[in-house]
Amino acid sequence: MTTQTTTPEIPGAPSSDTTTDTLGIPPHIGRALATGGGALTVVSAFLAWTWTSAFPGDLTVYGYPGGLQVLVLIGGALTTLFGLSSYGVKGLRWLTPAGGDGAIKFAALATFYTTWYTVIAITADLGGIVNLEPGGYIAAIASAVTYLGARALPFERPEPDPIDPDDTRWEHVKHAYAYRWQTIKAAYAGGKPSTLGALPSYVEILIIVAILGLGLTVFTYGIGTEYDELFIGFLITAAFGFAALNKSGLVAQASQITARHQNITICGAFVAAAMFPFTQTDDQYATVGVYILIFGTVALGLNIVVGLAGLLDLGYVAFLGVGAYAAAMVSGSPSSPFDVHFPFWAAVLVGAAASLVFGVLIGAPTLRLRGDYLAIVTLGFGEIFRITANNLDGTSGPDITNGSNGISSIPNLNILGFDFGAEHAIAGFTIGRFANYFFLMLVITAVVVLVFRRSGDSRIGRAWVAIREDETAALAMGINGFRVKLIAFAVGASLAGLAGTVQAHVTYTVTPEQYLFAGPIPPNSAFLLAAVVLGGMGTISGPLIGAALLFLIPNKLQFLGDYQLFAFGLALILLMRFRPEGLIPNRRRQLEFHEDAEAPTVLTKAGA
């Protein structure tokens, strides 16, 4: 094993080991192996990997990658580009503003794991390694070389604080303050100074458009994977590819640009989402899209309660059920005890108002509790709602909810003569039933995002954050904690009820079994809370992305059967281990979770 020593740039700082070589291979050799192996993997993707088209994706064609070969091609291309950027190739330096070694490592992992997963899948599905063509062997060897080269790159350690805090000499004190100021500036700038420099506004807007287009492409590809092997390969490539982009500093650069044009980014995101149904040839995947929006909207409402106010609510799905039941009862269903048929706008108001009332009734006596006690009470409320809805069947109680049979045959919406249950032709594209509801849910999601942004930036939003950070200190500063928490509970509940009104019409039937605490298919309280934590508490895009992942992945992993929840739980454990702040965290939480990793370690006099 070899060790490299680097000297901090601050005067008077002692030398220390900041990087280590894990394989005994010089870093420049490892970088060359990773770059060359990535390029060879790209070439291998254009060769045949098997002789028969029985394996999904048809990997028998020369010169045209198909199926999993496309994902291997992407991983190899990322590895090669990051490697060339680390060499300072002109025109590619902007790819690694935070350094290229970490990016090369994760891109190499994406290439290696996706390639070897494909090779193993071919061997297992077709009955032996003899079914591999030369292209498969070349890809396996090239990706292994890429992996070994990446492993040889040094592991970067946090640089120690070069100043002894017990030394009171003026020069050391001056350098200490300068060092800490540079650290703070770097942290709030995304970790490393930007290499792009100041860009014109129109260029940054074009970059935002490209980012949104890339996001739509990735989501459309993932949701449209037609067989299990391709989806698993997509997960591997997407996970390690995102990690590579994050390590390279491109994610931080994108975050800075989108933060400077937040309104344009939000509007552009909704435009990109509205393009999704037009990318589909039928209504199959629009079904998944509308459920993701329902799930994401409810998660965003929960984010007000958990992410902003810091209240752990384990029965939040009950508010979704209250809104769905209230809307179903007034929407003209023959199973409803009320013989009324309200228009959609009235049904929306009824659903949101019913959830708001229940939020106040439940929150008023329980929000004086804190922490685990509040969580247990909300968990009990969720179960009480489900059991009560199950018992209001005319036998165990009044005939209101029709018991376990629920309220069925809910008619499709008809707004201003537009029938959401019928197909419509728009600009030459046929838009089916679920696509219609997708557009409606997209409008409701925009309303929820607007409410979240305005309330988060308001005086009450700052009070929520104060309660979350330190309730005792907030009360001492004159904030009425009970009133503030009750408002958060009521707003979050009404947003869930708003989404519930659309869910009732999309599913045709509302039953108590749809609103469990935990189950294999969301939405349920456990998955909603996981979506907020996974995506990033206190942010807008975090819960939406978390909800999309948590709905899409179980939907695609149904072939795992009883092991589906096990695989899902394992993935959550790994994510909480390596990225506890969530996928799209705000900067405050990111610094809190990585305080030890980002803050320089302190050298004592003896250590120096």
Looking at the predicted structure, is the pLDDT value of residue 143 above 90?
Answer: yes
- In this structure, of 138-142, 176-180, 272-276, 446-450, the range with the lowest mean pLDDT score is 176-180
Residue spans of alpha helices (H) in 367-432: 371-391
**Nearest residue to 92 (alpha-carbon basis) of 255, 248, 258:** 248
Check residues 549 and 160 and name the one with the higher pLDDT. 549
Tens digit of each residue's pLDDT (9 = 90 or more) over 221-272: 888 888 888 888 998 999 899 889 988 888 888 888 888 888 888 888 888 8
Give pLDDT tens digits for 343-387. 888 888 998 999 999 888 888 888 777 777 888 888 888 888 888
- Give the pLDDT confidence of 417-441 residue by residue, as tens digits: 777 877 777 767 777 778 888 888 8
> Which pLDDT score, from 0 to 100, does residue 313 have?
82
Count how many Cα atoms sit within 13 Å of the Cα of residue 85 in the half-sphere of its side chain: 25
- Taking only the tens place, the pLDDT of each residue in 391-427 is 887 777 777 888 788 888 888 888 887 778 777 777 6
Query: What Cα–Cα distance (Å) separates residue 288 from each residue in 296, 401, 434, 435, 563?
Result: 12, 27, 9, 10, 22
> Percentage of the chain surpassing pLDDT 70?
82
Distance CA 608, CA 599 (A): 18
- The pLDDT value recorded for residue 253 is 85
Average pLDDT value for residue range 307-325: 86
Tens of pLDDT along 304-313? 888 888 888 8
Contacts with 376 (C-beta within 8 Å, 6 or more apart), sequence order = 314
Nearest to 435 by CA among 276, 233, 211: 276
| CB contact set of 223 (below 8 Å; sequence gap of 6+) | 285, 288, 289, 552
User: pLDDT at position 118, please?
Assistant: 93
- 491 close to 460: Cβ distance less than 8 angstroms: no
| pLDDT higher than 60, residue 571 | yes
- Say what the pLDDT of residue 586 is: 67
Range in 11-20, 332-341, 559-568 with the lowest mean pLDDT:
11-20
Helical axes 344-366 vs 371-391, angle rounded to 10°? 130
Q: Is the pLDDT of residue 283 over 80?
A: no
pLDDT tens per residue, range 440-456: 889 888 888 888 888 88
Res 197: pLDDT: 53
Confidence at residue 317, expressed as pLDDT on a 0 to 100 scale: 86
Asked whether residue 14 carries a pLDDT value surpassing 80, the answer given is: no
pLDDT value at residue 419: 77
Query: What pLDDT is recorded for position 172?
Result: 41
Question: At the top level of CATH, which class does the domain 283-547 belong to?
Answer: mainly alpha
Going by pLDDT thresholds of 50, 70 and 90, the confidence category of residue 17 is: very low
Confidence of residue 341 (pLDDT cuts 50, 70, 90): confident
pLDDT at residue 137, rounded to an integer: 93
Q: Which range among 14-18, 93-97, 397-401 has the greatest average pLDDT?
A: 93-97
- Per-domain boundaries in the chain: 2-254, 283-547
d(CA 192, CA 186): 5
Rounded mean pLDDT, 46-71 = 89
Residue 83 exposed, middle or buried by CB count within 10 Å (0-12, 13-18, 19+):
buried
CA 163/CA 12 separation, integer angstroms? 8
Q: Are 146 and 83 in contact (CB under 8 A)?
A: no
- The 10s digit of each residue's pLDDT in 474-488 is 888 888 888 888 888
Q: How confident is the model at residue 168 (pLDDT cuts 50, 70, 90)?
A: very low
What is the spatial distance between Cα 95 and Cα 88, in angstroms, rounded to a whole number? 10
Higher pLDDT, 320 or 590: 320
Mean pLDDT for the stretch of residues 128-144: 91
Examine the pLDDT at 500 and tell me if it is beyond 60.
yes
pLDDT for 549 equals 83
pLDDT for the residue 393 = 77
Q: Do 23 and 145 contact (CB within 8 A), yes or no?
A: no
Please give the pLDDT value at position 420. 80
Cα–Cα distance for residue pair 477/207, rounded to 1 Å: 43
Residue 294 DSSP SS3: helix
Query: Under DSSP, is residue 602 helix (H, G, I), strand (E, B) or coil?
Result: strand
The per-residue pLDDT of the chain, averaged, comes to 79
Rounded distance, CA 69 to CA 90, Å?
29
Asked whether the predicted pLDDT for residue 28 surpasses 90, the reply is no
Share of the chain above pLDDT 90, in %: 13
The amino acid sitting at 298 is: V
Beta strands in 151-204 (DSSP E): 155-156
Q: Count of alpha carbons within 13 Å of 391, Cβ hemisphere only?
A: 8
Query: What separation in angstroms does the CA of 415 have from each of 344, 373, 412?
Result: 7, 44, 10
Band of residue 161 on the pLDDT scale cut at 50, 70, 90: very low
- More confident of the two residues 196 and 322: 322
Per-residue model confidence (pLDDT) at position 263: 85
**Sign of torsion over alpha carbons 356, 321, 352, 442:** positive
* Confidence class for position 589, pLDDT limits 50, 70, 90: low
